[in-house]
Amino acid sequence: MAKSSRSKSKLQAKAVKRSLEFQKYEDERRKRLFEKSQAALVKQKEEASEDKDSKPAKVSTVEVDIDIDSVPLKKPEKRTTKKNFKKRSRRQKWNHRLGFEQFTPEKPW
């Protein structure tokens, strides 16, 4: 950590110099990885084209006759809700989750 403003600027300059130095290595690495991924992609495309050439595509000619009028339509189910449902408070939910009783004891004071 820099103790003075002069040393701080010197350390910042060193950091910039180092970052530029490492940037070269990073750029080279990215370039290698990009070339490798491009080669793998070309290889996949070649294999896919070979597979298509070697195996003719099968065309299914099965016809199914369905009378649309004979198929019964399903009605959407109605959501049933409870009437007179009392919503539990946060404390009640928390106590239930922790396994405490549903009732709270009387206050001792």
Q: Where are the domains of the chain?
A: 7-54
The pLDDT profile of the chain, 109 residues, written as one tens digit per residue, is 556 666 778 788 888 888 788 888 888 999 999 999 999 999 999 988 887 777 665 666 667 677 777 767 777 677 666 666 677 777 777 776 776 655 555 655 4
Query: CA 100, CA 12: separation in Å to the nearest integer?
Result: 60
For residue 43, the model assigns a pLDDT of 92
Give the C-alpha separation, 8 to 6, whole Å: 5
Distance CA 104, CA 109 (A): 14
Q: pTM above 0.75?
A: no
